[in-house]
Amino acid sequence: MQKLTRDDLYSLEQYAEKRLHFRAQVLAHKKHRKVHVGPVATLYFEDRMTMQYQIQEMLRVERIFEASGIEEELGAYNPLIPDGLNWKATFMIEEPDVDKRRDLLAQLMGIEDRVWVRIGSNERVFAIADEDMERDTEEKTSAVHFLRFELTGKMVTELKQGASLGVGIDHRRYAFDLEPVAAEVREALLADLD
């Protein structure tokens, strides 16, 4: 999947005009790129469109219009666009109660390394987590992690030929699997493997 360049982005003025329509497009697009794994864990699979939206929103909020600032945002978010043989996802532990969340994050140390995908009867592919920076401490994991799932050519071929897709977490305090994922999710993620 092609990385974003400055030419792919709207100026702040253009984005102000297009924002509502573009936001509606992105929300519809994201609908089938989200997978709940158990009661508090969610994977948001990223792609070029989701990253363009994220960059446009950051430029808007921060009022960034200079070339160096735009390049900085591209450098931060382009790594989250899949490369054709992988999926990239934002992994979130979503517990609204602050006290419960703090306890949960302490119990789930290392969970980011135990998130997996599986195509057909192949072995599970565990995530490569947080390549940009360490996100946990000695006391707790982070509520947000960035994951990469590296697939083999054989797996991609099998998925394109109709193999099922499963997602799960294999952590000693949080184990859930979803096999297979909904057909709409499978189709959305298949499009990332070009």
Domain check: are 193 and 97 in the same one?
A: yes
Task: Tell which residue, 104, 86, 107, has the closest CA to residue 94.
Answer: 104
Domain check: are 74 and 135 in the same one?
A: no
* pLDDT of residue 138 exceeding 90: no
> What CATH number is associated with residue 137?
2.60.40
Domain check: are 40 and 52 in the same one?
A: no
- Whether the Cβ atoms of residue 28 and residue 34 lie closer than 8 Å to each other: no
Average of per-residue pLDDT values in the chain:
94
Domain check: are 53 and 86 in the same one?
A: no
Domain count for the chain, please give it: 2
Helices 12-30 & 48-62 angle (0-180, nearest 10): 140
Which pLDDT value is given to residue 167?
98
* pLDDT of residue 100 exceeding 70: yes
Task: Tell which residue, 17, 23, 86, 85, has the closest CA to residue 49.
Answer: 23
Domain check: are 89 and 153 in the same one?
A: yes
Which pLDDT value is given to residue 34?
97
Which pLDDT value is given to residue 130?
85
Which pLDDT value is given to residue 189?
97
Average pLDDT over residues 61-90: 94
Domain check: are 71 and 86 in the same one?
A: no
CA 78 to chain centre: 12
Average pLDDT over residues 122-139: 83
Average pLDDT over residues 123-134: 86
Domain check: are 26 and 37 in the same one?
A: no
Domain check: are 138 and 162 in the same one?
A: yes
pTM: 0.91
Domain check: are 91 and 162 in the same one?
A: yes
Which pLDDT value is given to residue 136?
67
Average pLDDT over residues 165-179: 96
Predicted confidence band of residue 135 (pLDDT cuts 50, 70, 90): low
Domain check: are 115 and 37 in the same one?
A: yes
Residue range(s) defining the domain that contains residue 149:
32-47+82-194
* pLDDT of residue 132 exceeding 90: no
Domain check: are 95 and 163 in the same one?
A: yes
Domain check: are 99 and 9 in the same one?
A: no
